[in-house]
Amino acid sequence: MKDFSRAPDDALEVYGTKLASRLFVGTSMYDSPAILADAVRASACEVVTVSLRREAGGSRAGGSFWDLIKSMNVRVLPNTAGCKTVKEAVTTAQMAREVFDTPWIKLEVIGEDDTLQPDVFGLVEAARILSEDGFEVFPYTTEDLVVAEKLLGAGCKVLMPWGAPIGSGRGLNNVFGLKAMRAHFPDVPLVVDAGIGAPSHAAQALEMGYDAVLLNTAIAKAGDAVAMAHAFKLAVAAGREAYLATPMEPRDMAAPSTPVFGVAFR
């Protein structure tokens, strides 16, 4: 009988690094550093994202925050949050590499203020520049298949399509588009990034075959951030286990679960 007391040996591999957890967690907006640390531990995540502001690059402002992050025994995925141009994103990424001594970068090039939708044209250009410079790029993108192809051509080996606008908590707005991306790129690690608001959203993404989810606001702004982090840990694990078990296909008509053979009829 299968041993369900431990997670299956089913590591996620990104840029040659194997990760047991399929949950990436952001580090902003928590009520205190202590709550942040407790939430990260409760989530059992192995990767946290950190936004690097340009003014912190030279002065090392916020040094105590960086020290806290580094003390958590997790991998740091710096991001270019808030960048609106290719030049700004590339410069921020280069600074992040110096501060955190990592080639990983979550690349954001924002094109629209209300939805924080990526500027996919600038995103592809920045991804190409950074990949050629030795970065391992995690691009925050849309579910557009053409853009995805161009990002892969630019050197990205991971894609991070949005579920919904950042911080909206709406879940998976375009399930059809996300399923199409999963089917079109069966061998590319795909991470749903942005818009996740509840553990059920995370479980749905993993059940669809997505490799991981990245979220921040859903944990940081929950009534109990630590408990919510643990809930997301369980949801991601359940979603992945369900995907591996192969869920039944939905159908339009009822199908009796109890056999009708031997039942008396009038």
Q: Which residues are catalytic?
A: 106
Whose CA is closest to 78, among 52, 112, 45?
52
Measured CA to CA in angstroms, residue 8 lies from 11, 217, 238 at distances of 8, 29, 11
**Bridge partners for 41 per DSSP:** none
- Token pair of 264, please? 């008396």
CA-to-CA distance for 25 and 27, rounded, in angstroms? 7
| Buried residues in 65-85 as b, exposed as e (16+ CB within 10 A) | ebebbeebebbbbbbbbebbe
